Chain A
């Protein structure tokens, strides 16, 4: 497709379950980002990939959160032993830019998000 695709769109998990959220970025986009958006809040940065390299994971809230992008295209965000506070919309975004300095236009293309509800 032409845009960023995320799946599943909705996920309900019982507390303690592991979940995996998938992101299919725009073809050829070098940079990929994950954001977490709690209800009524703006998105908050989780992690950033340039191709397959995870260059920044400073926003991951705990070691239960893990992201990968093994071939520099599709990315998976995994949350282990989910807790109720993990309930949020998880947004994926991609960018053609490598990022940093003059190369970064700041235009990120966002998917529609995966809404996670932990019971």
Chain B
């Protein structure tokens, strides 16, 4: 079945450091890929998405590129801020509306 694997956290960085959170997926077809973020005390919200190979999703300084050859969708940001501290979930959608999530990666940014 479809699955998503994320790097384990927590990831702890200093402000302005470079961020990478790895995500790889297994799917039978050609899924759409997503990053959702959950800030403390809030619900999950869509951060960015890509619907086909080589697409790059971007939002709020975060980027991720859909790599079909490596079945990956790694999340990157050039300079993190304290306000980026949250839990980040990689997800895929192949059929209908069913999102399949990874386990989540906690990001802590210290000033």
Interface residues of A (CB under 8 A from B): 3-4, 31, 33, 35, 40-45, 48, 55-56, 59, 91, 93, 95, 97, 99-100, 104-113
Query: For residue B82, which residues in chain A have a CB less than 8 angstroms away from its CB?
Result: none
Query: For residue A113, which residues in chain B have a CB less than 8 angstroms away from its CB?
Result: 43
Of B43, B49, B93, B101, the residue contacting A111 (CB under 8 A) is B43
Q: Give complex CA distance A107, B41 in Å.
A: 20
Chain B residue at smallest Cβ distance from A108: B99
Interface size class of B (residues with CB under 8 A): 20 to 34
Q: Other CB < 8 Å A-B pairs besides A104-B93, A106-B32, 11 of them?
A: A3-B43, A40-B104, A42-B89, A42-B104, A45-B100, A104-B96, A106-B34, A106-B46, A106-B49, A110-B36, A113-B43
Interface residues of B (CB under 8 A from A): 4, 32, 34, 36, 41-46, 49, 51, 89, 91, 93, 95-104
The reply to whether A106 and B98 contact each other, CB–CB distance below 8 Å, is no
CB pairs A–B below 8 angstroms (23 shown): A33-B99, A35-B99, A41-B104, A42-B104, A43-B44, A44-B101, A48-B96, A55-B96, A95-B97, A99-B97, A100-B95, A100-B97, A104-B93, A106-B46, A106-B49, A106-B93, A106-B99, A108-B44, A109-B45, A110-B43, A111-B43, A112-B43, A113-B43
How many pairs, one residue from A and one from B, have CB atoms within 8 Å of each other in the complex? 71
The 5 A-B pairs of least Cβ separation, nearest first, read A42-B101, A110-B43, A99-B97, A110-B44, A112-B43
The reply to whether B45 and A110 contact each other, CB–CB distance below 8 Å, is yes
Query: For residue B96, which residues in chain A have a CB less than 8 angstroms away from its CB?
Result: 48, 55-56, 99-100, 104
Known: A40-B103, A41-B103, A42-B104. A4 touches B43 (CB 8 A): yes
The A interface is mostly helix, strand or loop, or mixed, namely loop
Of B41, B89, B99, the residue contacting A45 (CB under 8 A) is B99
